[in-house]
Amino acid sequence: MYSMKNQKQSEFVITGCGVTSAIGRGKTEFTTALLQGMHAFKVMERPGRQKETSFLGAEIHSLSCPNDFPKKTWRTASFSGKVAMVTLHEAWEEAQLHGIDSRRIGLVIGGSNFQQRELIQKFETYKENLHFISPTYGFSFMDSDLCGLCTEQFDIKGLSYTVGGASASGQVAILQAIQAIQTGQVDICIAMGALMDLSYLECQALRSLGAMGSDRYANDPARASRPFDADRDGFIFGESCGAVVIERLDSALNRQVKPYASIIGTGMTLDGNRNPNPSCEGEVDAIKMALDQAELSPHEIDYINPHGTGSLIGDEIELQAIYECQLSHAYINATKSIIGHGLTAAGTVELIATLLQMKESKLHPTRNLENPISPSLQWVGEKNVSHEIKHALTLSMGFGGINTAICIKNEM
């Protein structure tokens, strides 16, 4: 039984999660691949991703319609929509949400403009035959279509909306889900980091911006994603989606659902900056805000799941913030080295990666960390490490000067 010793009835806990990624569909596959450091990086093949280009990335394969999903809904859903429904299904089942008043359940989806590949495919298909485009495109091109798909399939009637925070969207969704419960709008809220379906246009722009790699490892995709390594040259895209079910502790106990962890501190700050360059001050402020709310000293954090994209500037700034917050003692690894950068999904998927490492009492390896830019940190290198996480900090940053931090406590 779950013990209530030293717990507050008002604490927010995570009672279910779902994940879909290129290294595994579902928590079991994902956990195995994560702890073994498996990867799926190669030249991307999904239609609409390349145009006389050879961008590297990790793509989801073998996605099929679950038996209890309407075939028409599945057929008309975008790829982002299909992945969202499959991912939510796993979280929903684990949290045992069947039979709960649908008006007391909410869904916040992190991300915006996440169906770009399908939009450009529509343009290319119908630009000469405009009148033949399906009427359903009139609503399916909107981000809110993911809300409609998921709330219809799972009969969610409390609230649902999307929130955009660039690569911090997944964590922003979690913060908004907590707020929805705090304000009494719903009793249970699901936060999802949606799959951002990039087209060749976004890939090229991100490459030209210097954010996306990799020129250096164009012929060696396995070595391309290398956060915090001296030879990094930008992030490598990875398709992913994550969903977590959040509720108050007393709600979970009343339903006899054992939580993964408590969310005991959150932080969000803005740099007042449109451009993609990061701010150490903003990141430090977000971390300190989360620690203050959690009532923890820096030395009580024993694991950090960083943003860690492989950015030439971003990785340096993030490690500087970790040092300034006196967190250099904590274990640290980089999930994006294994799964790639999920952009809008990253914050939620990496929180789930943290929960699964808590459950297994093991920390996954960091691939390609051959020459760490800060070798004195407690890196998890090429092999996984046994470690019982007590208090973890997960970090996300997004273009537009968005910094988020979430502190969780092990309740397993």
Task: Output the pLDDT for position 60.
Answer: 97
Question: Is 172 within the bounds of a domain?
Answer: yes
Task: Output the pLDDT for position 19.
Answer: 98
Q: Are residues 182 and 329 in the same domain?
A: no
Of the pLDDT bands very low, low, confident and very high (cuts 50, 70, 90), residue 6 is very low
Question: Is 120 within the bounds of a domain?
Answer: yes
Span 357-406, pLDDT tens digits:
999 999 999 999 999 999 999 999 999 999 999 999 999 999 999 999 99
Q: Are residues 322 and 214 in the same domain?
A: no
Number of helices and strands (H, E) in the chain?
13, 17
Q: Is the pLDDT of residue 138 over 80?
A: yes
Span 36-54, pLDDT tens digits:
999 999 999 999 999 999 9
Q: Is the pLDDT of residue 5 over 60?
A: no
Q: Are residues 203 and 277 in the same domain?
A: no
The residue ranking higher by pLDDT, 180 or 4, is 180
Q: Three-state SS string across 201-227, please?
A: HHHHHHHHHCCECCCCCCCCHHHCCCC
Those residues whose C-beta lies under 8 Å from the C-beta of residue 119, and which sit 6 or more positions away, are 141, 199
Task: Output the pLDDT for position 66.
Answer: 85
Q: Are residues 58 and 151 in the same domain?
A: yes
Q: Are residues 299 and 205 in the same domain?
A: no
Across the range 189-194, mean pLDDT stands at: 98
Q: Do 158 and 145 contact (CB within 8 A), yes or no? A: no
Of the pLDDT bands very low, low, confident and very high (cuts 50, 70, 90), residue 68 is confident
Span 310-354, pLDDT tens digits:
999 999 999 999 999 999 999 999 999 999 999 999 999 999 999
Q: Three-state SS string across 118-147, please?
A: HHHHHHHHHCCCHHHCCCCHHHHCCCHHHH
Task: Output the pLDDT for position 411.
Answer: 86
Q: What percent of the chain has pLDDT over 70?
A: 98
C-alpha dihedral (194, 389, 338, 260), degrees to nearest 10: -30
SS3 332: strand
Question: Is 83 within the bounds of a domain?
Answer: yes
Give dist(CA 374, CA 90) in Å, integer: 38
Q: Are residues 268 and 247 in the same domain?
A: no
Q: Are residues 292 and 319 in the same domain?
A: yes
Query: Where a domain ends, among 222, 254, 286?
Result: 254
* Angular region, 338: left φ>0, alpha ψ -120 to 50, beta rest: alpha
Question: Is 1 within the bounds of a domain?
Answer: no
Any alpha helices (H) in 183-332, and if so which ranges? 200-209, 249-254, 280-294, 314-324
Across the range 190-219, mean pLDDT stands at: 96
Q: Are residues 244 and 292 in the same domain?
A: no
SS3 406: strand
Question: Is 73 within the bounds of a domain?
Answer: yes
Q: Are residues 196 and 300 in the same domain?
A: no
Q: Is the pLDDT of residue 167 over 90?
A: yes
Question: Is 3 within the bounds of a domain?
Answer: no
Question: Is 2 within the bounds of a domain?
Answer: no
Task: Output the pLDDT for position 3.
Answer: 32
Q: Are residues 194 and 284 in the same domain?
A: no
Name the domain count of the chain.
Answer: 2
Task: Output the pLDDT for position 62.
Answer: 83
Q: Is the pLDDT of residue 25 over 70?
A: yes
Give dist(CA 122, CA 315) in Å, integer: 37
What CATH number has the domain bearing residue 34? 3.40.47.10
Span 71-116, pLDDT tens digits:
989 999 999 999 999 999 999 999 999 999 999 999 999 999 999 9
Question: Is 178 within the bounds of a domain?
Answer: yes
Q: Are residues 112 and 198 in the same domain?
A: yes
Q: Are residues 194 and 291 in the same domain?
A: no
Beta bridge partners of 241: 20
Query: Where a domain ends, among 231, 254, 277?
Result: 254
Query: Where a domain ends, among 225, 254, 283?
Result: 254
Question: How far is C-alpha 158 from the geometric centre of its chain's CA atoms?
Answer: 23
Span 250-275, pLDDT tens digits:
999 999 999 999 999 999 999 999 98
The residue range of the domain holding 130 is 12-254
Those residues whose C-beta lies under 8 Å from the C-beta of residue 142, and which sit 6 or more positions away, are none
Beta bridge partners of 268: 404
| Helix (H), strand (E) at residue 364 | none
Which two three-digit tokens encode residue 356?
A: 């699964």
Q: Is the pLDDT of residue 201 over 80?
A: yes
DSSP state, residue 73? H
